[in-house]
Amino acid sequence: MDFIIAKYNYWIYIILMMIGFYAMISKSNLIKKIIGMNIFQTAIILFFVSIAYKKGGATLPILTHADAHGEHAIQVAGYLNPLPHVLMLTAIVVSIATLGVALAIAIMMYRKYHTLEEDEILKAIK
C-alpha cells in the first residue's frame, strides 16, 4: 500500500503519456496526431513538476524575508525544488514552438491535398 501511495503519480503520467503516444502513432488524422503530441508533452511537464515537490511544509520557491540570517535563515527543506520548474518553463516554450510549426505544416498539407487524412494524402502522393 505504501508502495502504491509513493509511486501512483508516476503511473498517472505514464498512462497519460501512453495515451498521447497511441494517438501519435495510430490516428490517421494529422490534427489528432498533433493533439497526441501535446498530450505527451503535457505528461512530461506534469512528471517534472511532481519531482519538484517536497513533503513536510515546503512552500513555493519565493523567498519571504530579504534578511537571510538568524531566525530567518533559509532552510533548504522549506522551499520546493526550483530547478524542475525552470526546466519546464523552457519545455512549455519548446512545446508551443513545435505546436506552431506542426500546425503550419498541417495547413500547408491541407492547401495542397485538400484533406488531413494520412491514407488519402499517401494515395495522392502515389
Partner 1 sequence: MKTLGLIVSIIAGAFLMYGTIDMPDWGDPNSPASIHVSPRYITNAATETATPNIVTAVLADYRGYDTLGETVVIFTAGMACILLLRRRKDVRKARR
Q: Does 15 bind partner 1 (CB under 8 A)?
A: yes
Contacts 24+ apart (CB under 8 A), 81-87: 81/51, 81/52, 81/53, 81/54, 82/52, 83/52, 84/48, 84/49, 84/51, 84/52, 85/49, 85/52, 85/61, 87/48
Q: Does 10 bind partner 1 (CB under 8 A)?
A: yes
Q: Which helix (H) or strand (E) holds 109?
A: helix 82-113
For the segment 25-54, give every residue that binds partner 1 (CB under 8 A).
25-26, 50-54
Closest CA to 51 of 5, 109, 10: 10
> What is the closest distance, in whole angstroms, from the C-beta atom of residue 101 to partner 1 in the complex?
5
> What is the closest distance, in whole angstroms, from the C-beta atom of residue 70 to partner 1 in the complex?
14
Return the number of the residue (98 or 115) whose C-beta is nearest partner 1.
98
Q: Cα–Cα distance between 68 and 45 in angstroms, integer?
A: 32
Return the number of the residue (26 or 124) whose C-beta is nearest partner 1.
26
Return the number of the residue (77 or 125) whose C-beta is nearest partner 1.
77
Cell numbers representing residue 37 in the block: 503530441
Binding site for partner 1 (CB under 8 A): 5-11, 14-15, 17-18, 21-22, 25-26, 50-56, 58, 61-64, 66, 68, 74, 76-77, 79, 81-86, 89-90, 93-94, 96-98, 100-101, 104-105, 107-108
